[in-house]
């Protein structure tokens, strides 16, 4: 059986381990002090035991799955890269910046993924709160080797508790998620509200203004986003109405937010293409101001 090194045993990392543990040995790299492993995933009213262990050895690793927060990717992976530069990697996180960074460190080795699964970690257990799907693919701007692509097909070709699909255009999938996170996350974090609050009419014009900026940045980058992006954002806000967004949760827990991974690539692209991004800039600054000390 192959041995997969997993980095980031949080809620989504636990779902990935659960999905892969019947066909691979899962070892978890302790990328920071105090990493602990949940023992179970609760899903469909059943409790599933997680079969994984912590390791500090990189011997015998066949592939790496990175599920930590976008803010931790560089710190968590940099020390491992020299020893694991010949095996396939998969990165599953919010934003766009950390994926591009990892692909640059490991040319031809890194697949990207995006998930709509919902999960929360409560101490020793993980609750699977929403069934979604996980899409995995080779990013067009950082093509992967045949070995890495074959591993991606292997991951997506077998049945397990999660739906894992091969995605021919993973960059567009990540852009669509980025666009939604770029609107919902900063507003909910700054206004300390649940996602559903964004469906109120008072947010309509701000959401439209942000979506227009994001649309023109995406177009300049050659990416096609859904025409009715603002409607899509409101649909997601309604569908996840009782959620506190990941950015709000980070702020409330005193953690660093993923603002740089989410708004950073949009602001850099706007700058590169000479586009106005006044509303994105406003929300970027507003989130930064919530955490002046940890930056």
Kindly list the residues in this chain that would bind ligand KPL in the complex (CB under 6 A). Answer: 94, 180-181, 184-185, 195, 236, 240, 243, 245-246
User: How far is residue 88's CA from residue 181's CA, in Å, rounded to a whole number?
Assistant: 28
Catalytic residue among 27, 69, 147, 177: 177
Distant-in-sequence, close-in-space partners of 207: CB < 8 Å, separation ≥ 6: 183, 198, 230, 233, 234
177 part of the active site: yes
- 3-state DSSP of 49-73: ECCEEEECCCCCCCEEEECCCHHHH
Q: Which of 170, 171, 274, 176 lies closest to 217 in space, CA to CA?
A: 274
Return the C-alpha torsion angle 17, 18, 22, 28, nearest 10.
30
- Least gap, CB of 237 to ligand KPL (angstroms): 8
User: How far is residue 17's CA from residue 27's CA, in Å, rounded to a whole number?
Assistant: 9
User: How far is residue 294's CA from residue 98's CA, in Å, rounded to a whole number?
Assistant: 19
- Least gap, CB of 179 to ligand KPL (angstroms): 11
Report the residue number, 64 or 251, with the smaller CB distance to ligand KPL: 251
User: How far is residue 119's CA from residue 46's CA, in Å, rounded to a whole number?
Assistant: 15
Report the residue number, 77 or 181, with the smaller CB distance to ligand KPL: 181
User: How far is residue 290's CA from residue 280's CA, in Å, rounded to a whole number?
Assistant: 16
Q: Show the tokens assigned to 247.
A: 């950015």
Report the residue number, 156 or 181, with the smaller CB distance to ligand KPL: 181
User: How far is residue 152's CA from residue 137's CA, in Å, rounded to a whole number?
Assistant: 7
User: How far is residue 210's CA from residue 193's CA, in Å, rounded to a whole number?
Assistant: 18
Catalytic residue numbers? Answer: 177
């Amino acid at each position: 059986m192959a041995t997969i090194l997993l980095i980031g045993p949080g809620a989504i990392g636990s779902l990935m381990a659960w999905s892969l543990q019947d066909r691979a040995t899962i070892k978890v790299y302790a990328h920071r002090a105090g990493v602990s492993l949940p023992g179970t995933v609760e899903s469909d009213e059943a409790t599933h035991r997680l079969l994984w262990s912590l390791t500090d050895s990189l011997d015998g690793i066949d592939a790496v799955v990175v599920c930590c927060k976008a803010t931790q990717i560089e710190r968590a992976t940099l020390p491992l890269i020299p020893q694991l530069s010949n095996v396939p990697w998969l990165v599953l996180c919010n934003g766009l910046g950390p994926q591009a960074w990892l692909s640059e460190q490991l040319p031809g080795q890194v697949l990207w993924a995006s998930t709509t699964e919902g999960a929360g970690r409560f101490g020793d257990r993980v609750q699977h709160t929403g069934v979604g799907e996980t899409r995995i693919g080779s990013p067009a701007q950082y093509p992967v080797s045949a070995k890495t692509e074959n591993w991606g097909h292997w991951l997506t070709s077998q049945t397990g508790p999660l739906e894992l699909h091969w995605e021919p255009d993973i960059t567009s999938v990540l852009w669509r998620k980025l666009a939604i996170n770029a609107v919902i996350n900063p507003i909910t974090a700054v206004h300390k509200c649940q996602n559903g609050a964004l469906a109120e009419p008072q947010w309509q014009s701000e959401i439209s203004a942000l979506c227009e900026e994001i649309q023109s940045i995406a177009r300049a980058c050659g990416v096609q986003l859904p025409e009715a992006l603002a409607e899509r954002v409101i649909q997601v806000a309604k569908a996840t109405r009782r959620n506190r967004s990941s950015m709000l949760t980070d702020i409330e827990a005193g953690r660093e937010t993923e603002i740089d991974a989410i708004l950073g690539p949009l602001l850099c692209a706007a700058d590169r293409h000479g586009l106005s991004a006044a509303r994105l800039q406003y929300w970027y600054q507003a989130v930064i101001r919530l955490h002046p000390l940890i930056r």
